[in-house]
Amino acid sequence: MVVLTARDEKRGLEALESLKHSGLSDYLIFHQLDVADPKSIASLADFVKKQFGKLDI
């Protein structure tokens, strides 16, 4: 599974749709993220923990 992130939600969702048309739809999800914003980082961490239980990098 790949979590695609972007600061701009509209552009992130557009990128997601473009990648889905390449046949990767079963492996992609989007979550908004601004790496300069601690609340945004915490939100992504919570999302990953709830969705997957852990993060493998």
Q: Which helix (H) or strand (E) is 50 found in, with range?
A: helix 38-52
For 55, the token pair is 């993060």
Residue-level pLDDT at 43: 97
For residues 32 and 10, what is the distance between their CA atoms, to the nearest angstrom?
9
Asked if 48 contacts 55 with a C-beta cutoff of 8 angstroms, the reply is yes
Q: Which helix (H) or strand (E) is 47 found in, with range?
A: helix 38-52
- State the residue for tokens 């990648």: 19
Residue-level pLDDT at 1: 84
Tens of pLDDT along the chain (57 residues) come to: 889 999 999 999 999 999 988 887 778 999 999 999 999 999 999 999 999 998 777
Residue 35: CB atoms within 10 Å? 10
Q: Where are the domains of the chain?
A: 8-52
pTM of the complete model: 0.82
